[in-house]
Amino acid sequence: MEDLRQIIGKNLSELRKRHGLTQLELAEKFNYTDRAISKWENGDTLPDVEVLYNLCEFYGVTIDYLTHEDNAKFIKQVDPLNTWNKIAITALVSSVVWMLATVIFVFSILRGERILWQSFIWALPLNSIVLVVFNRTYFHKRLLTFIAWSVFIWSSLTGAYLSILDFSLWPIFLLGVPTQATMIIWLNLRRPEKSDKK
């Protein structure tokens, strides 16, 4: 069993390095600490079967690849279009948000009513929510989540301010300061170590 742990650890380390990831970056993707990743790669412990499966999916290899020293024959064929398709789907849904804002703007002009140019401002927080949802589904990038929520906060406050157009309401932007500070702390927060299965 000790040899199997060493083989799996060595293969996990090689895969991580081949993908240009640090232990901390990999840990964040799988909601573990870099210390847990280090234990796996050193052969001190093994992740549970579900985590091993998720690692294999992430790297595009099979479980056999992880458990064998001569493992080149166990590499899965990964569809290179898959990532592009995920990006394209995200962009397509985002474009629907902006088309909706444009339709609202154009109809406000055609009807001779007050021109609703603020529809473009309100499209920003809506598009941010779209990005958060697709990031959570496809990409799992913590920084992208941080940026999307930051845009959501500040564009929502700007939209509220511009919709009311009362210049004495500028203190509304002070609401964003503690929220943004909290998000910066969250971005730099280290995740707790999950228990490792032996």
Query: From the centroid of its chain, how far is CA 2?
Result: 35
End residue of a domain, out of 74, 93, 122:
74
Confidence at residue 195, expressed as pLDDT on a 0 to 100 scale: 46
CATH, residue 59? 1.10.260.40
157 and 100 in a single domain? The answer is yes
86 lies in the same domain as 180:
yes
In a domain, 138, yes or no: yes
Domain check: are 99 and 47 in the same one? no
- 157 is a domain residue: yes
Q: Are residues 178 and 85 in the same domain?
A: yes
Instruction: Note the pTM of the prediction, 2 decimals.
Output: 0.58
85 alpha carbon, distance to own chain's centre: 16
Do 88 and 183 lie in a common domain?
yes
pLDDT band at 111 (very low <50, low <70, confident <90, very high): confident
Q: How far apart are the first and last CA of the chain?
A: 10
- Domain edge (last residue) among 26, 58, 74: 74
196 within a domain of the structure (yes/no)? no
Q: Is residue 96 part of a domain?
A: yes
As beta bridge partners, residue 75 has 61
Task: Please report, for the chain, how many H helices and E strands are present, in that order.
Answer: 9, 0
Read off the pLDDT band of 20 (50, 70, 90): confident
Q: Is residue 192 part of a domain?
A: no
Does 165 score more than 70 pLDDT?
yes
Confirm whether 193 is domain-assigned.
no
Please tell me whether residues 33 and 92 are part of one structural domain. Answer: no
Phi-psi domain of 60 (left: phi exceeds 0; alpha: psi -120 through 50; beta: other): left
Whether residues 120 and 69 fall in one domain: no
Q: Is 75 in a helix, a strand, or coil?
A: strand
pLDDT classification of 97: cutoffs 50, 70, 90? very high
| Burial status of residue 57 (CB atoms within 10 A of its CB: 0-12, 13-18, 19 or more) | exposed
The count of structural domains within the chain is 2
47 with 138, same domain: the answer is: no
Average pLDDT, the chain: 84
Which residue type does 161 have? Y
Please report the pLDDT score of residue 27 as a whole number: 87
> What is the length of the chain?
198
Residues 15 and 103 in one domain: no
Range of the domain at 177: 81-187
194 within domain boundaries: no
Q: Looking at 22, 40, 74, which one is the last position of a domain?
A: 74
Claim to verify: residue 183 and residue 122 sit in the same structural domain: yes
Residue 3 has pLDDT above 90, yes or no: no
Q: Give the pLDDT band (50/70/90) at residue 79.
A: low
Q: Which residue has the higher pLDDT, 192 or 45?
A: 45
pLDDT of residue 196: 45
Shared domain check, 167 and 133? yes
